[in-house]
Amino acid sequence: MTEAQRHNAILTLLQQQQHMTVSGLMEAFSISPATARRDINKLNEIGKLRKVRNGAEALPVKEKSVWSPLNSQLSSNHDEKIRIAQAAAALIQPGESAVINCGSTAFLLGKALCGQDVQVITNYFPLANYLIEEGHDGVVIIGGQYNRSQSITLAPQDEISSLYAGHWMFTSGKGITADGLYKMDMLTAMAEQKMLDHVGKLVVLTDSSKVGQRAGMLFCPATRVDILITGNDADPTVLQALQSKGVQIILV
């Protein structure tokens, strides 16, 4: 066993036991006291463990911070997404209805609309729950089976959810080009596609880093998009190509 292999094995064992003594390392790896102490010192210096009296202890495992509605500030390009959501909210007139799909920008849009005279139609459970708890009057929850990975409800193709109509539909994706809007999750995309024929205008909300990116499946062609709201740093060449296909561009 090389030194690097032994170091990896020590760290694996330490994560299981949380603490090991020098004598414990000597017995586990058939090494001398000097080698055990040298291994501890090296791994301590590079931040892989914490050296303690006569041994070592494992470092606490840091949980990866991920976006959720409760810590929306952790989403990438958060400030830009706030501006996008505010611009989207300004499009909607009192008494109108809006289909809002899943994602961090969608949630920010829902927060901006909360309390206004706007009917929100959504299958995004965190948004529906937030609006209900905040006392928003007009909330329509599209039914179906709850999909935990996306926090949405998904209905069969012939479900009545496809009959809900809205003046606006707000969605996002992993990328948008002159060809159209791309999405990664096929089930989510299929659920949203059922709504396209039942809404007035389709508005794409995406931060500037996604303009020009192709990722996943083509959700809809650019000619189906009415408005794109994105950041000022978006690729101007792509924006010009989208405008030539009739897409209104709103930069924030």
142-198 pLDDT tens trace: 766 666 666 666 665 555 444 567 899 999 999 999 999 999 888 778 878 888 888
pLDDT at 161: 46
Among candidate residues 35, 74, 40, 71, the one with its CA nearest the CA of residue 55: 40
d(CA 173, CA 103): 9
Give φ, ψ of 78 to 5 degrees: -60, -45
pLDDT of residue 70: 54
For residue 131, CA distances in Å to 13, 107, 113, 170, 228 come to 47, 10, 9, 16, 25
Record the pTM. Answer: 0.68
pLDDT at 56: 94
Burial of 144 (0-12, 13-18, 19+ CB in 10 A): middle
Please report the pLDDT score of residue 73 as a whole number.
59
Q: Is the dihedral of CA 193, 199, 201, 204 positive or negative?
A: negative
Q: How far apart are CA 169 and CA 89, in angstroms?
A: 12
Specify the amino acid at residue 143: G
CA distance 144 to 98: 19
Structure tokens at 95: 């008494």
Whose CA is closest to 100, among 148, 149, 168?
168
Say what the pLDDT of residue 160 is.
Answer: 44
**pLDDT score for 12:** 85
Backbone angles phi, psi at 177, to 5 degrees: -135, -175
Q: Edge-to-edge strands of the sheet including 217-221?
A: 175-177, 180-183, 217-221
Residues (pLDDT < 70) of the chain are 61-76, 143-164
Partnered with residue 176 across adjacent β-strands are 181, 211
